[in-house]
Amino acid sequence: MKNIWLIYRKELRSYFTSPIAYVIMTLYAVIFGIFFYSAVKYFQQISMQAQMMGRSFPMNINEMIIRPVLMNTCVIGLFLIPMICMRLFAEEKRSGTIELLMTSPVRDIEIILGKWLAAVALYAITLALSAVNFTFLFTYGKPDWKPILIGYLGLMLQGCALLAIGTFFSTLTRNQIIAGVSSFCVFLCLWILGWFTEFDSTPVTKVLGYLSVVTHLEPFTKGLLDVKEVVYFLSAIFLGLFLTARSMESLRWRA
Amino acid sequence: MIKVEGLTKRYGRTVAVNDISFEVEKGQVVGFLGPNGAGKTTTMRVLTCFLPPTAGTASVAGYDVLEQPLEVKRRIGYLPETPPLYPEMEVAEYLTFVGRLKGVPRSDIARRVDEVEGLCAIGDMRDKLISKLSKGYRQRVGLAQAIIHNPDVLILDEPTAGLDPKQIIETRELIKDLAKAGAHTIILSTHILPEVEQTCERVIIINKGQVVATDTVENLTHRLRGSESVAIEVESRDGKLDSAAAQRRLEQVAGVSRVVLKQSTDERAAFEVESLQKAAIRGDLARAVVESGWNLNELRSLSLSLEEIFLELTGPPPMPSEASK
């Protein structure tokens, strides 16, 4: 436990002593801001139209703004998460500091959890920054806050799962770019797998569709907390961390 | 303290270390000597539990590297070839991190960091970023990192590589100081021979993954040197020296087996004289020169250096004729 905390602190510090954390947080905030702005703009337009046509049914902020923005946000995650976790092991392997960690009286799993949790923490901070946008909705309207919370829980679970998989790719190579690009490609595949279900519904496409991250995120953005989806993300996290542990073990035998 | 038996390590088809065995007693300083690529680093990596052996066993303080790696790692301080440093950390911060990771309790860590900073003379750098340090200071921070938890066994992979002469001397002094305290068993690898002569009690010479010799430095010298060789320089008093006559005179001295003319000018000549087995010839040589009316400029015993031992053990010298073809 102490070792996880030590490595977690060291990793988090190195995110913030290098430009990585600030670049990621800034880019995330900018892109999120653009998504948010366009959603609000669109909402404003159609409410004007509705009023002019004499229909005055109350527009749903949750339905019209929050849900599409949260769905779009998962795409930003797709691009930024590889950048968060690609350095975790690749950098240590390149600089030789992995030798320090692996010859210290520390279990492999403690190293992995420490590093992964630091990446999760950075992702959580970045995500929290985006929540600032939603506070404006509360000043001018009356959105329901519970679906927002559940939406964020979904984004967080998705982030944790992708970070675990990205951490695994980082152990495979000493080159950060290779780690980043390969995890990005895998994330992209996990994203577009959902498209198959739109063409036909054979058992194969159903399975592929089930693997898609987006399919499982969607209920969360609607404010639905479904055990099935939570289990999907938790098992993805477990799989990612398990592969990382196996890969680290093989590192000793291969190196 | 350290026991290695039949250790073999293969990387795919290449055999890096082939069936080596040795033992190191507590408190000893052992030099691991060998040309580049001989298997020194691999052996050290096995001992530090970084790599598992392909075959054979290795144990530190009675703990097997495969069975109880955590116990082994607790007792080992390791300085790899490139010091494992985080450039974005400050020196004191880095040492604190490593110390805590190696199991130094929170209450002791500040004191330990101060101590190793004093030992390695990096106290004035403690608040600097590691990325700003020179190579010599990095090496010293690496050494400080290895001793922070006061380990029983210290494994240093080429601790003086890349340092300037002054830093090399300082590092050697530091290693000697650590050895003198007696609490540490030290293995250091190097391909610089005088380093071993100066710092180590025992040498393990390794070549192409195999141990070719293991003994104390003196014993190795004795074992390989049956006869004594002496460098001698003779000068005439009147400015004219017949070097052939001088050579003949030296050859007549009892116990001399061979005299080789190394260099001669009109008034002086330098020879290398070899004795028969176990014969003491220096006194007789001096007397012979002086009695013949010449000046004795120099008389020096040539001891077989570790370099020669090393070359003798690690194979024949390269053939110059083949290279020129």
The answer to whether the Cβ–Cβ distance between A104 and B101 falls below 8 Å is yes
Whether B315 shows a pLDDT value over 60: the answer reads yes
Residue of A3, A98, A253 with shortest CB distance to B101: A3
Residue with tokens 């404003």: A44
pLDDT recorded at residue A138:
84
The pair of structure tokens assigned to B289 is: 């020169």
Paired sense of beta strands B55-60 and B210-216, if any: unpaired
Residue of B52, B70, B86 with shortest CB distance to A252: B52
pLDDT recorded at residue A169:
95
The pair of structure tokens assigned to B173 is: 């002094």
Share of chain A above pLDDT 70, in %: 98
Confidence of residue A100 (pLDDT cuts 50, 70, 90): very high
ipTM over 0.95: no
List residues of A whose CB lies inside 8 A of any B CB.
Answer: 2-3, 6-7, 10, 13-14, 17-18, 95-107, 252-253, 255
Confidence of residue B195 (pLDDT cuts 50, 70, 90): confident
The answer to whether the Cβ–Cβ distance between A104 and B80 falls below 8 Å is no
Confidence of residue A123 (pLDDT cuts 50, 70, 90): very high
The answer to whether the Cβ–Cβ distance between B86 and A14 falls below 8 Å is yes
Mutate to test the interface with A, among B51, B94, B101 (most CBs of A within 10 A): B101
The answer to whether the Cβ–Cβ distance between A99 and B84 falls below 8 Å is yes
Rounded (10°) angle between helices A176-192 and A67-85? 150
Whether B197 shows a pLDDT value over 80: the answer reads no
Which of the residue ranges A93-97, B233-237, B253-257 would you say has the lowest mean pLDDT?
Answer: B253-257
Q: Which CATH superfamily is domain B2-223 in?
A: P-loop containing nucleotide triphosphate hydrolases (3.40.50.300)
pLDDT recorded at residue B1:
85
Residue of A100, A106, A255 with shortest CB distance to B51: A255
- CA-nearest residue to A108 within chain B is B70
Whether B92 shows a pLDDT value over 90: the answer reads yes
Share of chain B above pLDDT 90, in %: 27
B128 touches chain A (CB under 8 A): no
Contact A46, A59 (CB under 8 A): yes
Residue of B45, B52, B88 with shortest CB distance to A18: B88
Residue type for position B39: G
As beta bridge partners, residue B232 has B271, B299
Contacts with B280 (C-beta within 8 Å, 6 or more apart), sequence order: B228, B255
Contact B143, B79 (CB under 8 A): yes
Phi, psi dihedrals of residue A21, rounded to the nearest 5°: -60, -45
Mean pLDDT of A115-134: 92
SS3 (DSSP) at B203: strand
How many alpha carbons lie under 13 Å from residue B184 in its C-beta half-sphere? 27
Contacts with A201 (C-beta within 8 Å, 6 or more apart), sequence order: none
Mean pLDDT of B169-193: 82
H runs (alpha helix) in chain A: 2-17, 20-52, 61, 67-85, 87-95, 98-102, 108-140, 145-172, 176-192, 196-199, 203-211, 213-221, 227-254
Contact A31, A78 (CB under 8 A): no
pLDDT recorded at residue B161:
78
Whether B78 shows a pLDDT value over 90: the answer reads yes
Give B263: exposed, middle or buried? Use CB within 10 Å, 0-12, 13-18, 19+.
exposed
What does the angle CA B6 – CA B9 – CA B11 come to, to the nearest 5 degrees? 160
The answer to whether the Cβ–Cβ distance between B98 and A104 falls below 8 Å is yes
The answer to whether the Cβ–Cβ distance between B70 and A105 falls below 8 Å is yes
Which of the residue ranges B135-139, B148-152, B205-209, B318-322 would you say has the lowest mean pLDDT?
Answer: B318-322
pLDDT in tens, A195-216: 777 777 788 888 888 888 888 8
- CA-nearest residue to B84 within chain A is A97
Q: What is the DSSP letter of B89?
A: S
Mean pLDDT of chain B: 84
The answer to whether the Cβ–Cβ distance between A252 and B101 falls below 8 Å is no
Whether B87 shows a pLDDT value over 80: the answer reads yes
pLDDT recorded at residue B166:
84
Share of chain A above pLDDT 90, in %: 53
Contact B20, B206 (CB under 8 A): yes
Question: B74 vs chain A: nearest CA distance in angstroms?
Answer: 5
Q: Rounded to whole angstroms, what are the CA distances from B170 to A8, A35, B198?
A: 36, 61, 12
Confidence of residue B306 (pLDDT cuts 50, 70, 90): low
Residue of B78, B86, B100 with shortest CB distance to A97: B86
pLDDT recorded at residue B304:
59
pLDDT recorded at residue B237:
81
Closest to A187 (Cα-Cα) out of A90, A97, A80: A80
Paired sense of beta strands B76-79 and B2-11, if any: unpaired
pLDDT recorded at residue B226:
57
Architecture of domain B226-302: 2-Layer Sandwich (3.30)
Confidence of residue B305 (pLDDT cuts 50, 70, 90): low
Mean pLDDT of chain A: 89
Segments making up each domain of chain B, as ranges: 2-223, 226-302
pLDDT recorded at residue B321:
45
Residue with tokens 């021979």: B193
Question: B315 vs chain A: nearest CA distance in angstroms?
Answer: 29
- CA-nearest residue to B104 within chain A is A105
Question: A182 vs chain B: nearest CA distance in angstroms?
Answer: 25
Q: Rounded to whole angstroms, what are the CA distances from A57 to A63, A68, A143, A154, A217?
A: 14, 20, 15, 30, 29
H runs (alpha helix) in chain B: 40-47, 69-74, 91-101, 106-119, 135-147, 165-181, 193-199, 217-224, 243-251, 282-291, 306-313, 320-324
Residue of A17, A96, A252 with shortest CB distance to B51: A252
Confidence of residue B281 (pLDDT cuts 50, 70, 90): confident
pLDDT recorded at residue B222:
62
Q: Rounded to whole angstroms, what are the CA distances from A30 to A38, A72, B216?
A: 12, 13, 68
B60 touches chain A (CB under 8 A): no
Q: Who wins on pLDDT, A113 or B320?
A: A113
Which of the residue ranges A22-36, A140-154, B77-91 would you say has the lowest mean pLDDT?
Answer: A140-154
Mean pLDDT of B72-82: 92
Question: A245 vs chain B: nearest CA distance in angstroms?
Answer: 15
Whether B98 shows a pLDDT value over 80: the answer reads yes
Contacts with A185 (C-beta within 8 Å, 6 or more apart), sequence order: none
Q: Who wins on pLDDT, B319 or B39?
A: B39
Segments making up each domain of chain A, as ranges: 2-254
Confidence of residue A44 (pLDDT cuts 50, 70, 90): confident
What does the angle CA A254 – CA A178 – CA A182 come to, to the nearest 5 degrees? 100
Q: What is the DSSP letter of B266?
A: S
What string of DSSP letters covers A68-112? HHHHHHHHHHHHHHHHHHTHHHHHHHHHTTHHHHHTSS--HHHHH
